[in-house]
Amino acid sequence: MRSESLGISTESSGSIVFQWEDMVEDSRLLEIRNLVTRFYTEEGVVRAVDGNSLHLDAGETLGIVGESGSGKTVTALSIMGLIENPGLIESGSILFRGDELLEKTQQEMLEIRGKEIAMVFQDPMNSLNPTLTVGDQIARVLHFHTSLSRREKKRRAIELLRQVEMPEPEKRLGNYPHQLSGGMRQRVLIAMAISCNPTVVILDEPTTALDVTIEAQIFELVDKLKAQFDMGIILITHDLAVVANSCDRVIVMYAGRIVEEAPVIDLYENPLHPYTRGLLNSIPQLDKEKQERLPSIPGEVPELITLPEGCNFSPRCKYAVEKCMHDDPPIIKIAPGRRLACWKAGEFIE
């Protein structure tokens, strides 16, 4: 079992720092501790990821949800070692099987990316090279991470396309991306991601612009692959409805910070953070005969350069009190598997 204690200290800047003392379970694949990633621009400092901690276990799917600008994708890029200038990982720790990724050289991260940790990016048309065939693109991944012969690469590419349930996989090897449908292009990206049997796969909005039928097929495919290879999956999305049938655990992010974490069933049955409640209330309910106007969260996500004092969500929160306007709430463990960052947490816990 995993024992955990959490100490909270305050830096001179006023930001909250969490100190974890863990005995990590054998199933722990990935652990992020107090990650701070910022972008230094002419307009100011963008606090994209602001002191977050999370973990991923083998065989589980972790959903990370939130509006655009919440820090979801920057968290993923930090894990992958793909933060570029003017971005900077200022502090924190990213452990993969207990090994610190932030201490790896660029060459070491090149070897880890794709082979150990893979990422499927949001837009398959922009992620695939339009001048190369599907077969060539899969072969390039295999060439970098394996010593397979040319014939073996072709055989493996066909096998991968078959695994992702691509129709006529032998024929698709010679296709260019523009000759494929959106769902097919997404399957190619997933095939490339699993080509070297990675331990962790990050899916960043994998079904954007796909219709609901194809979306369901993609998530069903991901579940099959996870079970087959015992991978850990991180699913990034802005839509809480997407994670309902796909995730084991959910992390809700707002303006660079984690505000709530819970098992997926608990989150849907009893959301605790006002922001989470707002997101869930905005989802259409199919069991209602007549849909009323869906409630929306007032206001907009703040600019990460000019975050409000106190709780980032306080300007949009109907429950906010004076303390919320001036003091930033720490994220605390309130129950097994549940964390919450809200000064009024005690009033929401049932």
Q: Running along the chain, 350 residues long, what does each successive block of 10 average in pLDDT?
A: 36 41 65 97 95 96 93 96 95 97 95 93 85 95 92 95 93 96 91 92 85 84 87 91 90 97 95 93 66 76 92 94 94 94 77
Cβ contact 220:33 at 8 Å: no
Residue 214: count other Cβ atoms within 10 Å of its Cβ.
17
What does the pLDDT read at residue 348?
A: 63
Helix (H, G, I), strand (E, B) or coil at 198: coil
By C-alpha distance, which of 73, 80, 120, 107 is closest to 96?
80
pLDDT one-digit tens code per residue, 97-146: 999 999 999 999 999 998 999 999 887 778 899 999 999 999 999 998 99
pLDDT, residue 344, reads 87
Q: Which helix (H) or strand (E) holds 203?
A: strand 200-204
* pTM for the full predicted model: 0.87
Q: What is d(CA 185, CA 190) in angstroms, rounded to the nearest whole number? A: 9
Output the pLDDT for position 221: 86
Q: Per the structure block, which two tokens stand in for 299? A: 């206001």
Phi-psi map region of 66: left, alpha, beta (phi>0 left; psi -120 to 50 alpha) = left
What are the structural domains, with CATH classification, of the chain? Answer: 4-116+198-283+302-348 (3.40.50.300)
Helix and strand numbers, DSSP H then E, in the chain:
13, 14
Residue ranges of the alpha helices (H) in 21-69?
none
